[in-house]
Amino acid sequence: MIRYLYDPANAITAVGLVLSTTAIYLALVGRYEIGICFALWALLADDLDGMIAKSLANRSAVTAQIGAAFDGFADLVYAAVFPAVVVLSFNAFSASAFLAAVCLMLSAALRLSYFAVFPPRCGRIRERTTAEQ
């Protein structure tokens, strides 16, 4: 499994996951500002891994599939787990903060699942259906 990290896009995803985990740690110890900086670097890594993945012409289909699943997990960490941890820890782990964190996690997981099944069509020309012609 480790060999899939030799793929440049997957390696950048791994770096983003390390950055996200560091951001979560920093939020838990009360260093929110620095944690947010690490989370923003994780977001940048997510954009970069996507650009690199699209530019790799000789990437195997299996590596691309593993990369897509790995990227989805990394997205969940920086886009849902980190904000949920910040909300919880910043609000002294109150019941209302717990409810907000649950909503963040559910909405992010649903969003990522939806786009895994129905990828956005950004940058593509939409084909006209026969009803539109």
Residue 122: per-residue pLDDT:
64
Q: pLDDT digits over 79-93, tens only? A: 999 999 999 999 999
- Phi/psi class of residue 92: alpha, beta or left (left: φ > 0; alpha: ψ in -120 to 50)? left
Our measurement of the distance from residue 6's CA atom to the centroid of its chain's CA atoms, rounded to an integer in Å, reads: 20
Report the 10 Å Cβ neighbour count for 32.
Answer: 15
Residue 123: per-residue pLDDT:
55
Question: From CA 48, how far away is CA 133, in angstroms rounded?
Answer: 38
Global pTM reads 0.82
For residue 8, the one-letter residue type is: P
Q: Packing angle between helix 8-28 and helix 32-55, nearest 10 degrees?
A: 170
Residue indicated by tokens 């060999």: 3
Q: pLDDT digits over 38-81, tens only? A: 999 999 999 999 899 889 888 888 988 898 889 999 999 999 99
Residue 131: per-residue pLDDT:
54
Q: pLDDT digits over 14-33, tens only? A: 999 999 999 999 999 999 99
Question: From CA 46, how far away is CA 78, in angstroms rounded?
Answer: 9
